[in-house]
Amino acid sequence: MSDDLPAALADELARVHLVGIGGAGMSGIARILLATGRAVSGSDAKESRAVLGLRAQGAAIAIGQAAENLDLLVGGPTSVVVSTAIRESNPELAEARRRGLTVLHRSQALAALMAGHRVACVAGTHGKTSTTSMLTVALQHCRLDPSFAIGGDLNDSGANAHHGTGGIFVAEADESDGSFLAFSPSVAVVTNVEADHLDHHGTEAAYTAVFDAFLDRIEPGGLLVCCADDPGSARLAETAESRGIRVRRYGRAAATPESTVDSGAVLVDYRPVDGGAVATVLLDDVRVDVRVAVPGEHMAANAIAALLAGLELGAPLDGLLGGLAAFGGVRRRFEFKGRTGRDGSVRVYDDYAHHPTEVAAQLRAVRPTAGDGRVVVIFQPHLYSRTRLFSREFAEALALADEVVVLDVFGAREEPEPGVSGALIADAVPLPAERVHYEPAFDRVVELVRGLVADDDLVITMGAGDVTMLGPELVAALKPPDRTPP
């Protein structure tokens, strides 16, 4: 049951209680704990697909948080796992402290489960989930059966975590609170470094510094895979080289003759094909076509990063290319929700983009998919601090669409700020006023969009909050009424 964990950690993880067990990160840890034979309990604010799935695997889960939930397991937990979002006043955390139980941050628990594996971590401001997922699917295609923990559900399997039989562990590494410093990867991928999560880090300099610290977590002899096209990631690559860390770059700017290391994979051509794309790269001076089934050059770049990481892990090139071509996407990453409209020509998608760079990249990517139709985006800002700091950048990104609907801010872990609302973004979008709509009332959005959408349009809901709920509602609402005689 203890796998290769040190004895002390194996004892602490014998019976585990997870506060907020239904969350993306927590549910993945719970899945792996259950798969390795450990007793698991937890709590969450509401029922969800993740909670139901964990119950089916044997977890004891309470809805609502209370001190007595620590008694869901016979004998009580040997440790309690929390995330940064859990405050000291939480009744379950307070009770764990009172009992003198071991309290682990979720990153510490995940790091413990990595023991005995060769670890690949994917970090970066954007693209972590997609790149981690691509690497996982590619390795599975090579029959290496990696363990993995991802911040989203794979469309093919519906899972965000798995305890594999192979010796590889692939993990999405979260920089938002600096918790990825708990990991010690032998292969680290950094897709990009751009100011974000300043509610935690405070300044752009502090946010950048945590990536510099992440370099010191790479195992001796390990590899850093970096995007040469992103200024932040490119700077990090130079810093890594100055510290004697091996680096492989990817992207259009990956050809660096003055570098002391391999250039990695140089992107020389990108061609949209059948809703996906073919990216041609020079891989150590050999031309290789990388096929992806998802649109956007940013997604092709993620696939190239996964390819380099997979090669470093010992997977065969042909197997990795086959796996990347078969990658079916990740839930909430340009996820198709359905066709609707008078003649079924309106397509509805949902996407997790919640940073200006992500919004712009996704809207550029969907343009070829839209064809002759318009792109209608329904955007929900995430966090008051992010809305205040990046309102103009969000507005410029949203202007890549033809019709823009902005909702009010999904506050998540933050309290409202006076004067900060979705209107800050809507008012700054550089499009004619009749094409920009601010709708703070969530229950009015579907009716508003019904009056905007025309045949052949592509509608995309976008954001990290509950905007994802609108997709199925739009598919149903935009269909004409059924006038078939009884």
All domains of the chain in start order, with CATH: 7-104 (3.40.50.720), 117-326 (3.40.1190.10), 335-477 (3.90.190.20)
Supply the DSSP string of 336-386, one letter for each residue.
Answer: EEEEESTTS-EEEEEE---SHHHHHHHHHHHHHHHTTSPEEEEE--B-HHH
Which pTM does this prediction carry? 0.74
- Over residues 68-85, the mean pLDDT reads 92
- Give how far Cα 206 sits from Cα of 29, 196, 426, Å: 28, 10, 30
Output the CA torsion sign for 73, 75, 81, 82.
positive
* pLDDT tops 50 at residue 155: no
- Reported as a single tens digit per residue, the pLDDT across 279-306 is 999 998 889 999 998 878 888 999 999 9
User: pLDDT at position 245, please?
Assistant: 95
* pLDDT tops 50 at residue 71: yes
User: pLDDT at position 3, please?
Assistant: 47
Residue 453 structure tokens = 């959408």
- Over residues 46-75, the mean pLDDT reads 92
Structure letter (DSSP) for residue 66: -
* pLDDT tops 70 at residue 127: yes
* pLDDT tops 60 at residue 440: yes
Higher per-residue confidence, 65 vs 342: 65
Q: What confidence tier does 260 reach under pLDDT thresholds 50, 70, 90?
A: very low
User: pLDDT at position 9, please?
Assistant: 64
- Reported as a single tens digit per residue, the pLDDT across 98-122 is 999 999 998 889 999 998 899 999 9
* pLDDT tops 70 at residue 329: no
172 is catalytic: yes
User: pLDDT at position 338, please?
Assistant: 87
- Reported as a single tens digit per residue, the pLDDT across 460-475 is 999 988 888 888 899 9
**174 with 25: CB under 8 angstroms?**
yes
- Over residues 174-200, the mean pLDDT reads 80
Higher per-residue confidence, 160 vs 67: 67
Q: Where are the alpha helices (DSSP H) in 36-99?
A: 49-57, 91-99
User: pLDDT at position 67, please?
Assistant: 95
Residue 150 structure tokens = 């991802």
**93 with 136: CB under 8 angstroms?**
no
* pLDDT tops 70 at residue 263: no
* pLDDT tops 80 at residue 257: no
- Among 69-83, 139-153, 260-274, the range with the most confident prediction by mean pLDDT is 69-83
- Over residues 368-393, the mean pLDDT reads 90
User: pLDDT at position 1, please?
Assistant: 34
* pLDDT tops 50 at residue 455: yes
Residues with Cβ within 8 Å of residue 335, at least 6 apart in sequence = 155, 329, 349, 350, 351, 471
User: pLDDT at position 146, please?
Assistant: 94
Output the CA torsion sign for 367, 266, 331, 232.
negative
* pLDDT tops 70 at residue 236: yes
* pLDDT tops 50 at residue 259: no
Residues with Cβ within 8 Å of residue 327, at least 6 apart in sequence = 133, 134, 137, 138, 156, 292, 293, 294, 303
The one catalytic residue among 128, 131, 387, 403: 128
User: pLDDT at position 264, please?
Assistant: 86
* pLDDT tops 70 at residue 389: yes
Percent of residues, the chain, with pLDDT higher than 70: 90
- Over residues 397-419, the mean pLDDT reads 90
Mean pLDDT across the chain: 87
Distance from C-alpha of 455 to C-alpha of 120, rounded to nearest angstrom: 45
The one catalytic residue among 12, 92, 95, 172: 172
Structure letter (DSSP) for residue 436: E
* pLDDT tops 70 at residue 133: yes
